[in-house]
Amino acid sequence: MTRPEPRTAPPGRRDGTVADAVRAFAADAAADPHARLVALDFDGTLAPLVDDPHAARMAPAARAAVDRLAAALEGTTTRLALVSGRNLADLAACGEPPVGTYLVGSHGAETGHVAAHGIEAVPLVLTSSQEESLAALRAGLADAVAGRAGAWVQDKPSAAVLHTRLASDADSRAAVTVADAVAERLGLHAMHGKDVVEVGVVETSKGEAVDRLREVVAQDAGQAGGRTRVLYAGDDTTDETAFAVLGPGDLGIKVGDGETLATERVADADALAAALDLLADLLERPGG
């Protein structure tokens, strides 16, 4: 699985320089031979973190910016994607993505595309060994939350997720310790995020998903074989695998505080919305 190489994380510059970085990313879009991908995490990036994951929705400014950007992308070689740890169905329901959006769920284990008639999802088929591991994983995480108020387990098609946002510090630490032990016993990787531990039976990451999307977008834009330029925005530790695969011509934007491999940083969803609005401006008025 692709993971960030150990190195000193750049501080992530603040909002004031992001506009210049967006302008550079979009420079001469009409003449640039490269396809582009705007890939956005959902929770904590476009949508504020909430206690009930099913209640999450994009912040109003982010909602407006995403919809406007999607409209501005029509007829261009730039594509939009939502890349999330959520399963694909939850991402589609809570994110309400515009038609044409690529969807990546479960950190890359699930993929799909928003068509006019609904979500076109790539079927996820587990091997018998993966199904056995998933059953054992779910049982192990059920033990991790037993008797610990506020800790609960979310089942996904290829993973199980321990949520501890509502648990006490002591119960949270104990549940995480058990979850890590279960993952180790089963030979699986535990991904730690903000008040969550996700363990999947399909080995993948957001970084691998972004690299796959590069190829898909290049083909969709009629530029197979070319290197798609990527703008990726995310807030959590699991987004660092995506920042790690960015290179020359790409743009990584960290939302919020914390160490990061991204070169740019914004404070919150509203500040990210301003950057997306600027990108829409540049695509609507090339050279502006």
**Considering the domain boundaries, does residue 4 fall inside one?**
no
**Considering the domain boundaries, does residue 85 fall inside one?**
yes
Burial class (CB in 10 A: 0-12, 13-18, 19+), 31: exposed
Domain tally for the chain? Answer: 2
Which pLDDT value is given to residue 56?
96
> With bands split at pLDDT 50, 70 and 90, how would you rate the model's confidence at 111?
very high
Which pLDDT value is given to residue 6?
34
Domain around 35: 15-124+204-284
**Considering the domain boundaries, does residue 1 fall inside one?**
no
| Averaged pLDDT of the chain | 90
Please report where in the chains the tokens 């060994």 appear, as a residue: 129
Looking at 185, 200, 215, the residue that finishes a domain is 200
Q: Are residues 239 and 149 in the same domain?
A: no
- Residue 235 · residue 24 · CB < 8 Å: no
Look up the CATH number of the domain holding residue 63: 3.40.50.1000
Q: Are residues 32 and 106 in the same domain?
A: yes
Q: Are residues 221 and 94 in the same domain?
A: yes
Q: Strands 159-163 and 251-255, how do they pair? A: unpaired
Q: Are residues 142 and 81 in the same domain?
A: no
Looking at 200, 225, 245, the residue that finishes a domain is 200
Largest CA distance in the chain: 61
Single pTM value for the model: 0.85
Q: Strands 78-83 and 102-105, how do they pair? A: parallel
